Amino acid sequence: SKKIVIKIGSSTITSKDGVINKKFLDSLASQVKSLIDKGKQVVIVSSGARIAGVSTLCRWSRKEDVNYKQALCAIGQVELMDSYRIIFNKYNVHVAQILLTREDFNDSSRTLNIRNTLFTLLDENVIPIVNENDTVCVEEIKIGDNDMLAAQTTVLWNADLLIILSDINGIYDKSPVEHKDAKLIELVDNIDELEKNISIGRSSSFGTGGISTKLKAARLVNKFDINMIVANGKKDNIIEKLESGEEKGTVFI
Ligand code: ADP
């Protein structure tokens, strides 16, 4: 694949206490750098703003209040981008911030502008880092989660592959956290069939989407003949290993 969208889940970008996981970001930066060196183009969709906001302020109060949540995202987005900027710069890679809402994908002049900005950044070898613009989104009108934002970005950019990095090796027949004997599903060519045959447990404490939004994202990109992979972001060199076949994750074709 030449054009790759990589989505980073909240539980992957932050450690247990909500602090941004610098070790993970460093490994991501080095993997993205080697993809660029191979002539590939990468767009990152990153979660984690709200959690970073929580750990910045060191308080959890009023966390269900919508405006408070939006404020936490605004605070955390800066922390998040700051970490991306510093760590990617170590590998001589520049990053750019793109904040989007669902409406942006329904408006043709906006999608044209987004596409043009993406193309220009990528021509300059700058990595766009996309996140939802939480300030202008009330909970109900949000894209909902970054799995769908990543899928919409993948389609808009006409990428070849969407890689969703989470804290699990892929999609299992039942929740791997609750069931020790859960089996990894390596290939999905029929999402309706898959949905009938698996059970979906709770998502991780910081995750928002869970498995059902990942299936929704897969449906969208597959409709445009684009493959999607769910894999474990915590494994060393996961992107390279996926490309070489050493690691499989769950592939949606
Ligand atoms: P992210 O923040 O990376 O988007 P989520 O927490 O939203 O991740 O979703 C991943 C979590 O979903 C896993 O950590 C796992 O505990 C849970 N889960 C529930 N059911 C399943 C299943 N059938 N297969 C895989 N993971 C599952």
Would you say the CB of residue 210 lies under 6 angstroms from ligand 1? yes
**Ligand 1 centre and the CA of 229: distance in Å?**
14
Lookup: tokens for 154: 């993948």
Is there a contact between 44 and 6 (Cβ–Cβ < 8 Å)? yes
Whole-angstrom Cα distance, residue 176 to residue 211? 12
User: pLDDT by residue (tens digit) across 198-229?
Assistant: 998 876 655 556 899 999 999 999 999 999 99
Would you say the CB of residue 184 lies under 6 angstroms from ligand 1? no
β-pair type (3-8, 41-46): parallel
- Name which of 199, 97, 216 is nearest 151 in CA terms: 216
- Name which of 158, 121, 163, 160 is nearest 146 in CA terms: 163
> Which residues have a Cβ under 8 Å from the Cβ of 232 and sit 6 or more positions away?
165, 166, 167, 168, 169, 170, 238, 247, 249
Whole-angstrom Cα distance, residue 47 to residue 65? 19
Would you say the CB of residue 11 lies under 6 angstroms from ligand 1? yes
Query: What pTM was estimated for this model as a whole?
Result: 0.94
Q: Cα–Cα distances in Å, from 220 out to 8, 54, 76, 148, 149?
A: 18, 32, 29, 8, 11
What pLDDT sits at residue 51?
A: 83
What mean pLDDT is predicted for residues 48-69?
77
Is there a contact between 231 and 249 (Cβ–Cβ < 8 Å)? yes
Question: Is residue 153 pLDDT above 60, yes or no?
Answer: yes
Confidence of residue 69 (pLDDT cuts 50, 70, 90): confident
Whole-angstrom Cα distance, residue 68 to residue 222? 36
Would you say the CB of residue 144 lies under 6 angstroms from ligand 1? no
Please report, rounded to a whole number, the percentage of residues in the chain having pLDDT higher than 70. Answer: 93
> 173, 203, 229: which to mutate for ligand 1, most atoms within 8 A of CB?
203
Residue 119 CB: number of other CB atoms within 10 A? 13
What pLDDT sits at residue 73?
A: 87
Query: What does pLDDT average to over the chain?
Result: 90
Would you say the CB of residue 121 lies under 6 angstroms from ligand 1? no
User: pLDDT by residue (tens digit) across 19-35?
Assistant: 899 999 999 999 999 99
Say if the ipTM goes beyond 0.90: yes
User: pLDDT by residue (tens digit) across 102-149?
Assistant: 889 999 999 999 999 999 999 999 999 999 988 888 766 566 689 999
**Ligand 1 centre and the CA of 95: distance in Å?**
28
User: pLDDT by residue (tens digit) across 228-245?
Assistant: 999 999 999 999 999 899
Is there a contact between 136 and 110 (Cβ–Cβ < 8 Å)? no
What pLDDT sits at residue 59?
A: 65
